[in-house]
Amino acid sequence: MTGEIRTDYDCEATGLPAERWGEAVFSVDNEEIVLEVSVEEKVIVAIMAGEKASWKGTLEGLKKLLKGEIKAR
């Protein structure tokens, strides 16, 4: 697995190697927004916004959530 980060300042970090997991952390107004991807038996995605709002599931589950096929708990 490899990771990539891009910004509107034309800054780019590509080809970041990872064996099992990677995360991107953005700090906005003293809160963190985190996207974590793990490669296990299935691809697991976790999204955290601050300390109390989060979602974690499979890549397939995230796709269904974004398409409105399932609801978040």
What string of pLDDT tens digits covers the 73 residues of the chain?
A: 999 999 999 999 999 999 999 999 999 999 999 999 999 899 999 999 998 899 999 999 999 999 999 988 7
Give the integer Cα–Cα distance in Å for 45 and 61. 9
Tokens of 61: 């589950």
Q: For 21, which DSSP code? A: E
State the pTM of this model: 0.85
Q: Is there a contact between 50 and 31 (Cβ–Cβ < 8 Å)? A: yes
Give the integer Cα–Cα distance in Å for 60 and 49. 21
